[in-house]
A and B are shown apart, each in its own frame.
Chain A
Amino acid sequence: MSENFSRRDFLKLAGLGAATTAVLTGCGPASRFVRREPYMQMPEYTYNGLSTYYATTCRECAAGCGLVVRTMQGRAIKTEGNTNHPLNLGKTCARGQATLQGLYNPDRVTDPIQKARGTALGRESGNLLDWDAAIQVAADALGKHKPEEIAFLLGLAPDHLDDLVRELAEATGINPPLRFGALSMFEARATLSRAAENLFGKSGIPYFDIGGAQVVFSFGANFLETWLSPVSYTRGFAQMREALSKRRGTFVQFEPRLSSTGAKADEWIPIRPGTEALVALTIGRLAFELIGGALPRAFSDVDPMQAAAKSGVKLETLQRLAALFAGSPHSLAIPGGPALGLKNGLSVAEAVLALNAIPNNFGKPGGVFFSAPAPGQMESSRAASTREMRDFITKLADGDIKVLFIHGVNPVFELPAEMGFKDALQNVEQVISFATFPDETALEADFILPDHHGLESWGYQQVGTGTAQSVLSGAQPVVSPFYNTRATVDVLLAAAKLAGGAFAQALPYVDEVAFVQHRIAPLMRESGGPFSAPEIGAFSAYFQQHGGWWKKGTDLLPPNPADVLNRDLDQTESEFVGEGEFFLVPFVSPTLAEAGANKPWLQELPDPTTTVMWNTWVEMNPATAHDLHIENEDVVVITSEAGEVEAPVYLYPAIRPDTIAIPFGQGHSSYGRYAAGRGANPADLFGLHFNQAGDLAFAGMKVTVRKTDRKQALSRMESLMGVYGEGLGQEK
C-alpha cells in the first residue's frame, strides 16, 4: 500500500496552498505571480479544495492518543483528537496540537548523512548519502559485527519498531532493545511498576480511575501535566469535578512545590520533601483510627505526632485529611512525580498505594487497577529504568557494544550529564541515529538515517498507561514524506536483507506496512473490536481508518489486595544527597516536555503555573528570596554535587521556603533554531543516585543557590504589576 503514496501525488497541487501562503498583499504584485500546479494523478479520495482527514497516533509522548489530521492538497493543516479513540476521546494536549510544527519544522534532518561526531549538521561537516548507501551502512553494521556487539536504543513508546527490533533480537541474539525517555525517568515508571509488584504480586503500571473517585489524594503525581497519559487523566479529573451529575469530588495535593496539577487541588499540602511516605502512612493510621477496628500492620508503626513535626503539616490537618479520606467509599491516593524521584521513592509509592486499601478501592470504580494490556503487548517490553540505562552506558564505555542504533530518544540531553553517555559513545565504533531532528544525540552519531516524522509514517503503538480499554493505536502517514527520509523499519528490513543470514531470516517482511499487517493480523480473530474484516488487506485498511483497534468493554485488571496492608511499610524519611540548603524539585515542563523545545509555538505557550515562555526559570519562595536579597529575574547559579545550572529566578508564591524548583525541557545545545541555546537543562544537576527500584532520585538532592550580579528578563504572559503588584507603588 505504501507504494501508492508517492511524494509527487501528494504534493503536486501546490496551487491553492501557494495562494494561501502567498502573503496578504491585497491585489498587489505578489498574488499575480502565483503558479498553480495540478496533481499528476489525483488520488481518488482527494478533492480540490476539500480537506481529507486521516486517523493516526500522536507521537509527541508515549501515551498514544489518537489523532485525526486534517490535510489539504497533501499538506497537514491541523491535528485534532480522534473522537473514537478510547484514550483521548477527541481531545489533545498542547503538544499534540503543535505536532505539525515538528512535521514542518525548518530544522529537520532532510537526507541521510554521514558526519563527524559532535559536529553540527551542515554541508561542511558531513556528506549526504543516497539511501542505497545508507542502507548498506546499516547492513554492514548488522552483518559485520557479532550479534552481542549490536544494540538498539529506542524511544519510550511501545511501537511497531520496538516489536520489530525485539523480534530481531530474539531471532539473532543481538541485544534486546532498550526503551527509554526522559518522561519515563521523571514519571519513575519502574518504581510504580515495582511497587505494584511488591504490593499486589504483579508488576505493571497501575491505572487510577480518577473520574470515578470522590476524594483524590495525590502525592506529587502531576497527572494533569505530563504524567503517563495526561489527556486521559485530565478527562478523569474533569469527570471527578463534574458538579452537574454528582457530588463534586475533592482533590488534595501533597507536594513541596505547587505544580499546575496541584493548582487545581482544593487543598495544597506543602509537605517537607522526603516525608511523603511518612505522611501517607500517618493518614492511613489516622483514617483507620477513625473507622475503628484493628490497626493493620502497615500503619501500626507510625507516630502521628512525630510525623506532623517532621513533615511540617499540622496534626489537625492530618486528622482532617484522614477523616476526609476515610469518609468516602471512593477515595483514591496516587503516588507520582517528584515524590517517586526520592531516594526512598519506592517506599513512597508503596505507602501511597497502600492508602487505597482504606476504602479498599482496588479494582473498584474510582480506585486502582492495572492498566489494560494493549493487544499484542509483549511481557518483555517495558521501559528501561535509569539504573538500567546506567548499566547500559557502562557497557558502552567498556567497548562491549560496537554498533549502536538510536531511534526516538535523545539520551545526551535527557540523561544526567553525570552518567557520561556522551563520553561512553567514544568507545562505540559506530553510532547510527535515525533522528528526525538534529538533536544532541544525533550530532554524536556517525550516520543519521533520518526516519519520517510521526505523521509521515506507518505503524501502531500499544497504549498501556491511561485507558480502561485494550487499545492498539494505529498510525498512518497523513502526508507523504516531506524530505528524503525513510521509515526506520523499512531501513532495517532492507539492511537485514542485505546483511543476509540470520538477519534476513529474522525479518521476512516486504516492508513496514507488511510488518504492521503481520502484527495486527491476530486481532482479526479477536472479538469485541470496533470492526471486523475477513482478510488482512481490508482489516488493515479499517485499522488505519479507525485509528487503531480496541476492545469495547473495559479490560482493566483488578489488583490483588490481599497482602497490601499485611506488611511492614517503610516510613523513614528520604535521605538527600548534597550539602546545599535547598531541596531541589525538578519537574517536566508541561508544555515542552522532553522534546517540544524545537516547536516555536510550544515555546510560546505560557507555562501553566508561571506563564513563562521561551526560557528556563528557577522557582523560589519570595520570603526566601528576600532573605537572600534575590529579586525576580536575578540570575542564580544552582550547584549540586554533580554540576551547576544557571537560570533566572521566578519568585513563586507557592513553594516551600526550603525548596526550589526548576523545569526540565529547555537547555538544548542543538535541536534546531528554536531550541538551541535557550534556557538551562536541570539534568546537569542530577547525581547518580537511584531509588530502591532503580529510577533516578532526581528529586533527592539538596543544592546551593548563589546569586550572580546579572539579571535576565523572563518572557512572561502574566503582568508582574497586575498579578504580583510589582512596580505599582506602595499601597496608601
Chain B
Amino acid sequence: MNSKIPEIKLSEEQTGKWGMVIDQDICTGCQACVAACAMENNLSFVGEVDAGYGRSMHWIRIERFWEGEYPEVKMTPGQPMMCQQCGSAPCEPVCPAFATVHSQAEQLNLQVYNRCVGTRYCANNCPYQVRSFNWRDYVRPEPLPNQLNPDVTVRRMGVMEKCTFCIQRIHKAEDKAKSEGRELTDGEFTTACAQACPANAITFGRIDQPESLVSQLIRKHGHGVKHLEELGTLPSVTYFKGG
C-alpha cells in the first residue's frame, strides 16, 4: 500500500504544463503540420476508401468551414485540431483498462498503446473527436518501414492513438538537458507540427511558465479561444482567431 501517492485535484484555474497556441489568422491550411506529424509519429496511411470513410489516422487535422453564399462566400480560417491535452479530460476516466491516463509529471493525456483493448470509449467521449483507432493492420510495404521513428511505438490493429504533443521529443530534450546538468530552456525543442509550420502559426511550450513564448503570446493576443471550454475540459491549446 502506497500511502505517499499525492492526490492531485485539478481545480478550474490550474493550467497544464505543456501547451500550444495556434494563430488561425496565419494558418494557411497547407498541411505541412499534418505531414510532419505523420512522419514523426509513425502514422499509418489507410488508403482512399478508409480515409474517405472517416478512418484516417491523422493526429492533427485542419478544419475549415464556409460562411455565406457566393459571391460573398468565405472560408473560415484553418483550424488545426489535435488532442487538446485536457487538464480534465473526458477520455480518461471512461477507459476500463487505464489505457489512457493523465500524466502527472508532464500534465498530458497519455495513451498507453499496449494497455489498450479497443473498447473505443475514449474516442467516443472525446468532444474534439481527435482520437484515431487502428481499424486494421495497415500495411507499410517494404522498404517504407525504414523511416519509422524508433522513439515512437508502431501501433497495431485494435489500438487507439492520438496526438502526444510529441512526448518523445519532450523526453529527449529533458534527457539532454539533464545530461548537461541544466534546466530545459524554452524553445529548445518543439513538436513536429510546430517545427514544420511554414507560417509559424503553431507555437509550443510551457504554459505554466510566464516567461515562455507561449505564455507571452497568450498575454499579448489577449483573446485566445479554447475549444469547448464550456465542457470543463481545461484544454491546453489556445487558438487565436485573429482577423
Contact = CB atoms under 8 A, between A and B. Distances in A.
Interface of A: 16-17, 20-21, 23-26, 72, 75-81, 88, 90-98, 100-101, 103-106, 224-225, 230-231, 234-235, 237-238, 241-244, 248, 258, 260-261, 263-264, 266, 268, 270, 482, 590-591, 600-606, 608-609, 611, 613-615, 621-623, 653-657, 673, 678, 713-718, 723-724
B30 A93 contact: yes
Nearest to A482: B143
B123 to A, nearest CB: 16
Contacts of A591: 31, 35
A241 B30 contact: no
Given A21-B154, A97-B196, A101-B147, A608 B51 contact: no
Contacts of A235: 198-200
Q: Which of B48, B62, B192, B201 has the most CB of A within 10 A?
A: B48
A150 to B, nearest CB: 35
B154 A23 contact: yes
Contacts of A100: 39, 147
Contacts of A88: 198
A376 to B, nearest CB: 27
Interface string B199-238: 1110000000000000001001100000000000000000
Interface string B57-86: 010011111100111011101100000000
B39 A97 contact: yes
Contacts of B201: 238
B173 to A, nearest CB: 13
A144 B153 CA distance: 56
B156 A715 contact: no
Interface of B: 25-26, 28-32, 34-36, 38-40, 43, 45-49, 51-52, 56, 58, 61-66, 69-71, 73-75, 77-78, 113-114, 141-150, 153-156, 159, 192, 195-201, 217, 220-221, 242-243
Contacts of A16: 150
Contacts of B30: 93-94, 224-225, 230, 234, 260, 590, 608
Contacts of B64: 263, 608-609, 611, 718
Contact of B70 (A26, A244, A260, A621): A621
Contacts of B61: 606, 717
A25 B113 CA distance: 11
Contact of B150 (A20, A101, A105): A20
Q: Is the interface of B mostly helix, strand, loop or mixed?
A: loop
Given A602-B35, A614-B47, A715-B49, A104 B75 contact: no
A608 B31 contact: yes
A72 B114 CA distance: 25
B149 A77 contact: yes
Contacts of A96: 32
A98 B198 contact: no
5 tightest A-B contacts by CB? Answer: A715-B52, A614-B48, A94-B35, A97-B35, A238-B199
B198 A244 contact: no
A268 B143 CA distance: 45
B70 A608 contact: no
Given A20-B150, A72-B150, A613-B51, 7 more contacts: A21-B145, A76-B147, A92-B198, A94-B32, A604-B56, A606-B34, A613-B48
Contact of A242 (B26, B39, B65, B73): B26
Nearest to B243: A266
A92 B154 CA distance: 24
A527 B152 CA distance: 44
Contact of A606 (B62, B70, B155): B62
A234 B199 contact: yes
A716 B36 contact: no
A717 B56 contact: yes
Nearest to A483: B143
Contact of A77 (B71, B147, B156): B147
A234 B26 CA distance: 9
Contact of B149 (A78, A717, A724): A78
B147 A75 contact: yes
A615 B48 contact: yes
Contacts of A716: 52
B26 A238 contact: yes
A234 B28 contact: yes
